[in-house]
Chains A and B, each alone.
Chain A
Amino acid sequence: AQSVSQHNHHVILSEAASLELGCNYSYGGTVNLFWYVQYPGQHLQLLLKYFSGDPLVKGIKGFEAEFIKSKFSFNLRKPSVQWSDTAEYFCAVTYTGGFKTIFGAGTRLFVKA
């Protein structure tokens, strides 16, 4: 079955630390990849997406993600986190030709001020 695996369920960082959240998806063909974020009390919102082209994708709020096809990975990075980045982050995938989005279990990030 198609699945998405997020490596960490909880991450605690201090402000200004660098962030990398791991995400791997199961093979199933050509993929579209997403990171969504849910800030406390807010809706899920799209952080960034990859469809094709440059495998390094830049999103909002200084986030970026790199698609490594050979590793079936789409890790999320930010060089310097802020307290306001405290949120839950979800990696997700759709397989080309379909609309069904498969989500990972989420990573809760807490940034200490």
Chain B
Amino acid sequence: EAGVTQFPSHSVIEKGQTVTLRCDPISGHDNLYWYRRVMGKEIKFLLHFVKESKQDESGMPNNRFLAERTGGTYSTLKVQPAELEDSGVYFCASSPVGYGGQYFGPGTRLTVT
């Protein structure tokens, strides 16, 4: 069974540019989560999808961040325009209904210069 995959693994962009991160959850997992870790700090929740619906987006930093989940399958997280403080590792995770833990992807390391 394939795990959670994320693309790209690394992205370096300039301040003001746009970046789109993609997450492919494990097939059949209705729950999909996005997290961010700024260097040395805790992993912070961004938002949670159940299928294609956003259940909780209380962790999204501001309206420069837009997350979508097409047809309840893969998800994208767009940052537009990027700021220096957006740098960090963005993790995606998925889980089936009723499972307590989450399966994490490898993360996308975003560097904004």
Contacts and interface: CB of A to CB of B under 8 A. Distances in A.
A102 B35 CA distance: 10
Contacts of A106: 42-43
A61 interface: no
A82 interface: no
Interface residues of A, number: 21
A51 B100 contact: yes
Nearest to A98: B56
A101 B42 contact: no
B101 A46 contact: yes
Interface stretch (B13-21, B77-85, B102-110): B102-110
Contact of A49 (B42, B45, B101): B101
Contacts, number: 52
A43 B106 contact: yes
A51 B100 CA distance: 8
Nearest to B44: A103
A104 B91 CA distance: 15
A43 B91 CA distance: 10
Main DSSP-derived SS at the A contact region: strand
Given A99-B31, A100-B56, A100-B59, A105 B104 contact: no
A100 B31 contact: no
Given A4-B42, A99-B56, A105-B41, A43 B3 contact: yes
Interface in A10-44: 32, 34, 36, 43-44
B22 interface: no
A104 B106 CA distance: 19
A44 B100 contact: no
Interface string A68-106: 000000000000000000000010100000111111111
Interface of B: 3-4, 31, 33, 35, 40-45, 48, 55-56, 58-59, 91, 93, 100-107
23 contacts: A4-B42, A32-B100, A34-B100, A34-B101, A36-B104, A43-B3, A44-B91, A44-B93, A46-B102, A49-B101, A92-B43, A98-B56, A99-B56, A100-B45, A100-B56, A100-B58, A101-B33, A103-B42, A103-B43, A103-B44, A103-B45, A105-B40, A106-B42
